[in-house]
Amino acid sequence: MIRPVIPLVTAALLFGIGAYGVLRRRNAVLVLMSVELMLNAVNLILVTGDTLRERVTGQVFALFVIVIAAAEVGVGLALVLRLFRLRQDINTDQVALDDEPRAAAPSEEPALALDGEQA
């Protein structure tokens, strides 16, 4: 019988490093990388558990996790780019999640009426 100690310990270390990165990092890109590290640790556990049985359910679930990780990267990087464009910084400590959006600054040009006259 195969002893899965080394892959399971490696997965636990990867998951621990990823959890530490999510909790301690301030850069949003590094937080996304830490989440990816945690997802890869889960994939390693699923594939390792699959070697102990004759079924292939662990590999199927690992494929689902890979698809979810790809979608998470796409959405996460879009959010990071939007955050950078709004604040010129991707520091997660300075993001106010309950803050109301700022009102747009009034334009310097007067608005035009529909018939072409100034309002």
What are the boundaries of each domain within the chain? 5-92
Contact yes or no for 69/61 (Cβ under 8 A): no
Q: What is the pLDDT of residue 27?
A: 86
The per-residue b/e assignment along 51-75, b for 16 or more CB within 10 angstroms, e otherwise, is eeeeeeebeebbeeeeeebeeeeee
CATH topology (fold) of 5-92: Helix Hairpins (1.10.287)
Model pLDDT for residues 24-44, shown as the tens digit of each residue: 988 888 889 999 999 999 999
Q: What is the pLDDT of residue 3?
A: 79
Q: Please state the pTM of the whole predicted model.
A: 0.70
Which of the pair, 49 or 54, is modelled with greater confidence?
Answer: 49
What percentage of the chain has pLDDT greater than the value 70?
Answer: 77
